[in-house]
Amino acid sequence: MGRRQQPASPGFVTRFRANLLLLLAGAVWGMGFVAQSTAMADVGPWTFVAAKFALAAVTVAPFAFLERRKAAVAIPRPALGWFAVIGAMLFLASITQQIGIVTTSVTNAGFLTGLYVVLTPILGLALWRDLPHWIVWPAALAAFFGIALLGGGSLSALNSGDLWIVVCAVFWALQILLVGRHIGESDRPYALSFIQFLVTTLAALLGALALEAPSLARLWAAWPEIVYGGVFSTGLAFTLQILGQRHTTSAQASIFLSSEALFAALFGAIFLGERIAAIGYVGCALILAAMLAVELVPLYRRPRPVAASETTATSGSSTKA
């Protein structure tokens, strides 16, 4: 009679569900990448970021309010401070990415944004000595090269927009790391979402008023992109990120979130009639392999060697019996 398979431990089930939430966030971001690009025909980057994050804050506010009513204690002041810092990282990542998208190609933007996949474990190790599971390093590299292959395996001529995108990748990595370190201090995911959206809205609004000339007519022209970007790509996806990161590491989270490149290619093929080059399918396989690796490899545990003293004790017990 064969060995009966043991059921998955609660820890595995919790992490698996968390990674599914991160995968869903990647799918929503992948769908919204086109909206970020097409909106630039009607509004400037500062106006677009301010509008979509304002809508995201409004969307998540009722959930944050209900969460507050159910909470036994208030959020500690240090945690509120870190929530604001996370909001600052989100603002810097969003605005540098949006400015870069104005002057770079979609291929370059997708490829260079994906740098956060490898930057997240590197910065975690450098700043806080967070040593991830060994599988994270090859998986992160596989995911990054997968993103590159999805974009055709090469970059077009680099320009100033590409530099903005590289900077944005650093801030994305810091935002992911800070969420992972501080969400457990209060376990108030909706409050964190609302605060980071509010901080980003206020900072972007100041920039829009100083550098651009936002108008209701221009906002109305871009309303489909703003609604999708605010409600789904921001309000929903970033909240899914926070919910998922409560039960997984920042390095693993970055790999699952990098699936946005895969879903962008998929939705581009479905809705825009775009076609993935043959090498792009290799990229899809690498991203999928990276996600499966960080999910399954940590489950493997080598059998613990039995010490000689334990063997002797066991033999003695059998003799006495």
More confidently predicted of 57 and 318: 57
Given this model, what pLDDT does residue 89 score? 97
Phi/psi region, residue 273 (left: phi>0; alpha: psi -120 to 50; beta: rest), is left
Given this model, what pLDDT does residue 10 score? 43
Given this model, what pLDDT does residue 63 score? 95
pLDDT tens string 46-84: 999 999 999 999 999 999 999 999 988 889 999 999 999
Calculate the average pLDDT of the chain.
Answer: 82
Distance (Å, whole) CA 50 – CA 52: 6
Res. 304 pLDDT band, cuts 50 70 90: low
Given this model, what pLDDT does residue 32 score? 75
At residue 191, does pLDDT exceed 90? yes
- pLDDT above 90 covers a percentage of the chain that reads 38
Q: In the structure encoding, which two tokens stand for residue 142, read together?
A: 């596989």
Contacts of 176 (CB under 8 A, 6+ apart): 116, 120, 241, 245, 250, 253, 254, 257
Alpha carbon of 62 to those of 50, 199, 295: distances in Å?
Answer: 20, 17, 33
Average pLDDT over residues 137-155: 80
At residue 276, does pLDDT exceed 90? no
CB 282 within 8 A of CB 151: no
More confidently predicted of 129 and 315: 129
Report the range of poorest mean pLDDT among 44-53, 143-152, 189-198, 311-320: 311-320
Given this model, what pLDDT does residue 42 score? 87
